Amino acid sequence: MQFHLNGYTAGDPRLSPSEKAQSRAAEQGAPGKLPETVDVLIVGCGPAGLTLATQLAAFPEISTCIVEQKTGPLEKGQADGVSCRSMEMFNAFGFVEKLLQEAYWVNETTFWKPDPSAPQHIKRAGQIFDTEEGLSEFPHVILNQARVHDFYLEAMRTGPAQLHPHYARRLLDLEVNPAAGPLDHAVSARFERSDAAHAGEIETVSARFVIGCDGARSQVRRAIGLTLEGDSANQAWGVMDVLAVTDFPDIRMKSLIQSTDQGAIVLIPREGGYLVRIYVEMDKLEKTERVADRQIVVEDLIAKANRVFHPYTLDVKDVVWWSVYEIGQRLTRAFDDAALAASSTQHPHVFIAGDACHTHSPKAGQGMNVSMGDAFNLGWKLASVLKGQSRPQLLRTYSEERQAVAQDLIDFDREWAAILSAKPVAGAATTAQGVSPDTFESYFIKSGRYTAGTAIHYQPSSLTAASTHQHLATGFELGKRFHSSLVTRLADGKPMQLGHTVQADARWRLFVFADEAGATKNSALDRLCRYLAEDPTSPTQKYTPADSDLDAVIDVRAIFQQGNRALEIADMPTLLLPRKGIFGLVDYEKIFTIDTRSGADIFETRGISRSKGCMVIVRPDQYTANILPLDATDELARYFDALLC
């Protein structure tokens, strides 16, 4: 899909300019005043805030309010890289296919270094696939942050709760009642309106939980006494989105470029076939100097880019957006108010997510992705507690898990930023004088899983089991995201990704991989299914509300080693053919086999024991939580007994 030929315009590229204007005008947010009382109050309509609101929009029984200081939706965003892991998450939210149609797919990356025969010229030195083969069923893509916001906003307003942001509200202050119980309306927040008809009016909201997704200058963070702590690398970089004419041959390829003495460029093609983002290294700053002191203008960025591109030229026709920033890494020491409390019994009522708790350079493309990951981690936990399915203690795991993820991001960003800014030197190693082009490329390859978002690894905890039974499914590493694989649905022979059954609905998934006996009478799988369907101590019986479908809390699905034509639906345990809804209709989408058409054998690709089979428990945010033998019903019950109520 090609667009932005005659200049950048916000909104759906399929629409005409007048249709775009009408569409943007229609999204003016929620009318009227803020509600006086809510379950969840989200401050900020950035990627973290919208991810959280979209997750909670699935639950009409939870009252949610999202407030934004700006007067309307974002039209031109700064973040544009969407990792493979975020694409997996978008699939759970239901809008990945729309995004794939518009986005630029980062298929390959090229590396440029000084030409040994003419050092003032750059020369292509390497070309690789951008992501490791088989790492994800989705690509790494580029799309303007504003369009990502648009997809979230659509999912919010069409979700069961039909959420709309309240725009033009500035947070003045918030207070937390320290004596409040875990589910009390413990937080009071005051907002000032800035819209013309109500400018200066003050509104107060009482909430059970407040989440600050309000950026690096977060008022919510300040209100609970947290600060961003870290340092600066004293290095200025410029970034610009441009429409340009050039003879640089890789203008539509992601490229990392090192020059002899003019610095480096990170080139990111943008969606639409014409637009390109260029990060260009500017000057080293003195220790006491700030970027603003240099008074850099966009013409400086263009001139510097041309010096790096030499002997190629860049004729910029239009600058859509540009900025200059100073590289720095900063992090808060906790992500909620209870993590700071002297008493470990205090329950959190205020959380922060995204840039409110971690900031870094944008070149690794992780800011928006990690921010959305923060919110996805927190969203299902809030929903589970507010619906009465989990104890409030579950909320303490948010800060524990995501603070460690943010620290890894800060460490990675510091190292990657230093390599990007280092002077290229001859040889094959990093020295005090600089970094060799070989090291430059090898580090990019080594860090591929990190930049794809698939390296996040939650350590053993109440949510993530120890690796006692990891050998039963070596390809589903405990604490890492559930790595999808191709299977065939038994009932209709449809090839599909098993991971796509995990939707953003706060349900747990129990994937049962059959041993060689399959579903024969009294096999391990048959006994497990009878336990789950009939035993009052089983988690599916114990924690499913009486008026709900059997899969309302824990969604059980089975995968067999045979092909779909070797099995019969009539031979399957009744647990795998549950009757649902007011008419008691049969759900035929719980049973899968290996995919004989493509030759994809999930048992082989994910290292699943054929002789023993196993159970794989997947969290609502798509992370592998536990692996158990098929007969470990006591362990299965103990795991869920510790988490559900």
Please check whether residue 475 lies inside any domain of the structure: yes
Predicted confidence at residue 537, as pLDDT, reads 96
Read off the pLDDT of each residue in 467-485 and give the average, rounded to a whole number.
98
CB atoms under 10 Å from CB of 566, counted, come to 12
474 lies in the same domain as 433: no
Judge if 487 and 526 occupy the same domain. Answer: yes
Under a CB-based contact definition with an 8 Å cutoff, are residues 36 and 205 in contact? yes
Q: Domain for residue 120, yes or no?
A: no
Residue 508 CA from chain centroid, whole number: 18
Q: 221-278: per-residue pLDDT in tens?
A: 999 999 999 877 667 889 999 999 999 999 999 999 999 999 999 999 999 999 999 9
Structure-token match 């400018």, residue found: 199
- pLDDT, tens digit, for every residue of 63-76? 999 999 999 999 88
Task: State residue 431's pLDDT score.
Answer: 53
Average pLDDT over residues 6-28: 80
| Closest C-alpha to 147, from 86, 102, 107 | 102
Question: Mind listing the pLDDT tens digit for each residue in 586-595?
Answer: 999 999 999 9
* Cα 233 to Cα 439: distance, rounded to the nearest angstrom: 20
What pLDDT was estimated at residue 25?
A: 63
Tell whether 261 is covered by a domain.
yes
Least confident of 164-178, 308-322, 424-438: 424-438
Tokens of 360: 């870094």
What does the block give as tokens for 406? 């943010």
User: Which of 193, 270, 402, 557 is the catalytic position?
Assistant: 270
* 559-570 per-position pLDDT tens digit: 999 999 999 999
Tell me the residue range of the domain where 217 lies.
45-102+143-228+332-390
Looking at 94-98, 289-293, 403-407, 637-641, which range is the least confident one? Answer: 289-293
In a domain, 107, yes or no: no
DSSP assignment letter at 570: G
Nearest to 62, CA basis, from 88, 81, 82, 35: 35
Report percent pLDDT > 90 for the chain: 81
pLDDT interval class at 110 (50, 70, 90): very high
Does the structure show a pLDDT above 90 at 418?
A: no
Question: Is the same domain home to 445 and 514?
Answer: no
Question: What's the confidence (pLDDT) of residue 138?
Answer: 97
Higher-confidence residue: 387 or 291? 387
Catalytic residue among 8, 274, 279, 398: 279
Do 233 and 348 share a structural domain?
no
Residue 362 catalytic? Answer: yes
pLDDT band at 26 (very low <50, low <70, confident <90, very high): low
Q: Let me know whether 347 and 362 are in one domain.
A: yes
DSSP H helix total and E strand total for the chain: 16, 26
- Residue 252 maps to a domain: yes
Rg of the chain over all Cα atoms, to the nearest angstrom: 26
Number of domains in the chain: 3
| One domain, residues 622 and 563 | yes
CATH of the domain at 166: 3.50.50.60
Rounded Cα gap, residues 15 and 348, in angstroms: 44
Question: Within this chain, do residues 502 and 574 fall inside the same structural domain, yes or no?
Answer: yes
Mean pLDDT (whole number) for 151-176 = 96
Residue 413 falls inside a structural domain? no
pLDDT at 331: 93
565 is catalytic: no
- The residues, any chain, with a CB within 8 Å of residue 577's CB and separated by 6 or more, are 569, 586, 587, 588, 590, 591
The CATH number of the domain where 618 resides is what? Answer: 3.40.30.20
Res 23: pLDDT? 72
Sign of the CA dihedral running 25, 26, 27, 31: positive
Among residues 47, 165, 348, 362, which one is catalytic?
362
pLDDT at 519: 93
Q: Could you tell me if 338 and 373 lie in one domain?
A: yes
Report yes or no on 4 lying in a domain: no
Q: Please tell me the predicted confidence (pLDDT) of residue 433.
A: 59
| pLDDT above 80: residue 645 | yes
Question: What is the reported pLDDT for 423?
Answer: 75
User: From residue 589, how far is each of 196, 576, 578 by CA, in Å?
Assistant: 52, 8, 10
Would you state the pLDDT for residue 615?
Answer: 98
pLDDT (0 to 100) of residue 283: 79
Q: What is the model's pLDDT at position 427? A: 56
CATH assignment of the domain containing 312? 3.30.9.10
Determine the average pLDDT of the residues in 14-22.
81
From 321-325, 371-375, 488-492, 580-584, the region with the lowest mean pLDDT: 321-325
Q: Please answer whether residues 347 and 386 qualify as being in contact, where contact means their C-beta atoms are separated by less than 8 angstroms.
A: no
Categorize the per-residue pLDDT at 517 as very low, low, confident or very high, splitting at 50, 70 and 90. very high
Residues 290 and 429 occupy one common structural domain:
yes
Overall average pLDDT of the 321-331 stretch? 86
- pLDDT class for 445, splitting at 50, 70, 90? confident
Q: Which of 12, 39, 80, 601 is catalytic?
A: 80
CB 280 within 8 A of CB 361: no
- DSSP string covering 200-265, please? T-EEEEEEEEEEE---TT-HHHHHTT---EEEEEEEEEEEEEEEEEE--TTTTSEEEEE-SSS-EE
Q: Tens digits of per-residue pLDDT, 279-293? A: 999 877 766 666 666
588 is known as an active-site residue: no
Looking at residue 282, its pLDDT comes to: 87
Do residues 218 and 364 share a domain?
yes
Domain check: are 255 and 308 in the same one?
yes
Question: Higher confidence at residue 234 or residue 463?
Answer: 463
Q: Are 33 and 192 in contact (CB under 8 A)?
A: no
Q: Is 279 a catalytic residue?
A: yes
Residue 602 lies in a domain: yes
Band the pLDDT of 182: cuts 50, 70, 90: very high
Residues 53 and 91 in one domain: yes
Q: Give the chain's mean pLDDT.
A: 92
Please check whether residue 140 is in contact with residue 83, taking contact to mean a CB–CB distance below 8 angstroms.
Answer: yes
CA distances from 418 to 172, 415, 424, 430 (A): 38, 5, 12, 11
Share of the chain above pLDDT 70, in %: 94
Mean pLDDT of 310-319: 98
pLDDT digits (tens, 9 = 90+) for 628-640: 999 999 999 999 9
pLDDT band at 409 (very low <50, low <70, confident <90, very high): confident
Q: What's the pLDDT score for residue 290?
A: 67
